[in-house]
Amino acid sequence: MIPAFANWLHATSLGWAVSGGVPWLEPTCKTLHFVGLVLLVGCAGIIDLRLLGVARELPLGPLQRLMRFAAVGFLINLATGIAFFAGSPFQYLDNVAFWLKMLFVAGAGVNVLVFYASGLGRSVSQLGAGESAPLAAKLAAAASLFLWIGVMYWGRMLAFIGNAF
């Protein structure tokens, strides 16, 4: 089923455009993917580090407004990631680094969902300057940092492990 979807996606106009049909599209997507990553990991990372006790003199509520920028970064990366996949799906499907990256992305997504669905996100938004986050929030923040660093690592390893580009 996945190979059939990959063949279909590659045969679309998007697949043609990214695989060389539009010469400027791939470098533009790479630049946007990097910008999205900076938004996502930079904004989420600031909040994660605050939850872990860095810059404790800052109240957490105003910092949490950065999460909308992290969400925009994720959407940029999702769109450009789909474009990369459409351009050359079998370079990804046959690459263990791609599947590990997707595993880390899924783990980070579950971590965010649990953080907000459990009400933990709401409770830590009330943390004022100098207050320490509860242990559950610290564990979620540490997991978030670990998972997003893993996403970056495995994304970078795509070119070096398995079916190299």
96-129 residue pLDDT tens: 999 999 999 999 999 999 999 999 989 898 888 9
Q: Considering the domain boundaries, does residue 165 fall inside one?
A: no
Tokens of 107: 């783990």
Q: Considering the domain boundaries, does residue 137 fall inside one?
A: yes
Asked if 130 and 57 touch (Cβ cutoff 8 Å), the reply is: yes
The residue range of the domain holding 11 is 2-157
* The overall pTM is greater than 0.85: yes
Q: Considering the domain boundaries, does residue 162 fall inside one?
A: no
Confidence of residue 89 (pLDDT cuts 50, 70, 90): very high
User: What DSSP state is assigned to residue 64?
Assistant: G
Q: Considering the domain boundaries, does residue 140 fall inside one?
A: yes
Q: Considering the domain boundaries, does residue 107 fall inside one?
A: yes
The count of structural domains within the chain is: 1
User: What DSSP state is assigned to residue 52?
Assistant: T
Q: Considering the domain boundaries, does residue 163 fall inside one?
A: no
**pLDDT confidence of residue 164:** 62
Gyration radius of the chain's alpha carbons: 18
Residue 3 confidence (pLDDT) above 90? no
Q: Considering the domain boundaries, does residue 50 fall inside one?
A: yes
Q: Considering the domain boundaries, does residue 26 fall inside one?
A: yes
Residue 143 confidence (pLDDT) above 80? yes
How many angstroms separate the CA atoms of 96 and 51, rounded? 33
Q: Is 135 helix (H, G, I), strand (E, B) or coil?
A: helix
